[in-house]
Amino acid sequence: MKARRRVLLVSACVVLFVAAVIVVVMLHKRAAPEPARLLPEAEVAAYIDFAAIRTLTGLDKKPLPGLAPGYDEFVRETGFAFERDLHEVAMAVHRGREGGESRYSEVVVGRYDQSKLAGYLKKQAKSVESYRETDVYSIPVEDRTVRVVMLAVDTVAISNVTSPSVIHGIIDRFHKAALPFGGPRLVRTYYRKVPVGSLLWAVAQLGGDGEAPSITLPAGVTLSPPTDSDVVFSVRPLTKIEARADFYSHNKEALRDFAAQMEALLELVRSLQENAQNEDPDVKALLNSLQVTQQQDHAELQATIPPGLLRKLVTDPIEAAAEEGALEDEAAED
């Protein structure tokens, strides 16, 4: 009898262990990407899967021009090129926190040469502090301090918020990264609303100061999302590239008014496009695909992005900037 009970007990423990593993796996499959879970509280949280974008657009086949002063030096000294080595980015936007200016915090996943990057950061930093055995590099940029930490061999966190508590919080969350539903409120609340397979998504709090945000466009069209609304924007590639923006609010009447405003705007844009000369067939297809629907708890704007238009949006500005840079170099040589 004792042997039988022991077998039953062992079997029960095995079943419970397997069940726990299955639950953890299922939770993580629907959890937000780890970089997004590391973000601090903010009014906007966004995530981009650059590896997928490279596959769709061939971005890595076109070297990026200097994105900012010092970018070329950064590439030479670290060996890290955004068009080739960047995999994922999660960003928090701290809107109008300090003197009316927005601040930003990012978690960047990619392929780094740790020793080269550390050497570059030490060279740029005015000071280096240690927090939880992690070096925090404080780098002066214009009139603010940018703090950078190397969390792992493939993960770097950056923040230009004045208080060091923000970057410290990212480090703290990194040590608890196994928690599948951690992260800022917007991510915890709305990531389950993001369509599976989205390569780009963002969640934003609108009108957090108690006033309804509004945009007045030409021809007198005004867009006024409800004061308490949050928006979830996403792009995902299926047989076509689907884009959508879902506006959530408890104020159903305000949502209906907002949906009607979006319908009016779409009609205006379509009429302008019909009268436009040399219309781009990809732009026309995008506009024709736009539709607004009113759900019980949200208003939904959907569109289909032609692959050709996505490539233009990503590669054309890069090519134009590269050509401009080449012309400037030639002029300087002359």
Separation between Cα atoms, residue 96 and residue 93, nearest integer Å:
9
Highest mean predicted confidence (pLDDT) among 45-54, 56-65, 213-222, 255-264: 45-54
175 and 40 in a single domain? The answer is yes
Please give the tally of structural domains in the chain.
2
Rg from Cα positions in the chain: 24
2: in domain: no
In whole angstroms, what is the distance from residue 186 CA to residue 262 CA? 24
For residue 285, the model assigns a pLDDT of 81
Which domain, by its residues, includes 258? Answer: 206-334
Say how many residues make up the chain: 334
Phi and psi torsions of 55, nearest 5°: -65, -40
Those residues with Cβ within 8 angstroms of residue 138's Cβ, 6 or more apart along the chain or in another chain: 125, 126, 127, 128, 129, 145, 146, 147
Q: Are residues 175 and 100 in the same domain?
A: yes
Query: Do residues 187 and 203 lie in contact, with contact meaning Cβ atoms separated by under 8 Å?
Result: yes
Q: What is the pLDDT of residue 29?
A: 45
* Residue 195 in domain: no
Supply angle C-alpha 22, 197, 241, rounded to 5: 165
Confidence check: pLDDT of 329 > 80: no
pLDDT digits (tens, 9 = 90+) for 105-160: 999 999 999 999 999 999 999 999 999 999 999 999 988 999 999 999 999 999 99
- Same domain for 133 and 217, yes or no, is no
pLDDT of 100: 75
Distance CA(271)–CA(288), nearest Å, equals: 11
Based on the fold, state whether residues 304 and 233 are members of the same structural domain: yes
Residue 87 pLDDT > 60: yes
Name the nearest CA neighbour of 226 among 294, 274, 171, 176. Answer: 294
Whether 251 is covered by a domain: the verdict is yes
Q: Are 95 and 102 in contact (CB under 8 A)?
A: yes
Predicted TM-score (pTM) of this structure: 0.79
Residue 22: pLDDT over 60: no
From 12-16, 162-166, 273-277, the region with the lowest mean pLDDT: 12-16
Inside any domain, residue 283: yes
Q: Say how far apart CA 154 and CA 85 lie, in whole Å.
A: 10
